[in-house]
Amino acid sequence: MAEFNPSFEDIDRLSRRIAERYRANPPQTIVAICRGGAIPAILVSHYLGIADVRYLTLSAYNDRTLKGAGPRVADEDARMLSALTGRVLVVDDMVDNGMSLGALAEHLPKGAEVAVLYSKAHSPRTHVTYLAEPEALASDCWVNFPWEKRPLAETLARVS
């Protein structure tokens, strides 16, 4: 399996790119999809001067294994999203199979936009409003973000 190891500098560059995209018409609220979207969302919030940052947990993977039932939005997160008003920007690190954003889409306020750092060649971009890195990664590529790096052998040993 191919691997891609973006640096913190790469994450900062792409987060700045998202901020520049929304500078003229900034959101009132930024929603970070945790865990991967938390750091980019915080960076975007600082670059835009947005204090209202919310967090929700939504993931399709346990380590490198796709979860059977797929992601779902917790009831408390659905209530938080439904109470949001004004412009909302959702930030995540990656769109892969699209399941996470698909599960989230039905709960987003009308007009909410979704910005992600990276996508893969097979990734559906149905729910993505802005892709910070337009060049897709290979479909079989595993991304080791700088905040979650651990050796491949260690990860594989944990899941086998």
> What is the spatial distance between Cα 156 and Cα 85, in angstroms, rounded to a whole number?
43
> What's the distance, Cα to Cα, between the start and end of the chain in Å?
16
> What is the spatial distance between Cα 73 and Cα 76, in angstroms, rounded to a whole number?
8
CATH of domain 3-159: 3.40.50.2020
Which pTM does this prediction carry? 0.85
Predicted confidence pLDDT, tens digits, the chain (160 residues): 788 999 999 999 999 999 999 999 999 999 999 888 999 999 999 999 999 999 998 755 555 555 556 778 888 988 999 999 999 999 999 988 878 888 888 899 999 999 999 988 888 777 889 989 888 889 888 888 988 866 555 655 666 5
Phi/psi of residue 43, nearest 5 degrees: -60, -50
CB 56 within 8 A of CB 80: yes
Amino acid 60: pLDDT: 56
> What is the spatial distance between Cα 51 and Cα 73, in angstroms, rounded to a whole number?
23
CB 11 within 8 A of CB 145: yes
Segments making up each domain of the chain, as ranges: 3-159
> What is the spatial distance between Cα 58 and Cα 100, in angstroms, rounded to a whole number?
6
Helix/strand/coil for 53: strand
Q: Which residues, other chains included, contact 51 with Cβ-Cβ below 8 Å and sequence gap of 6+?
A: 45
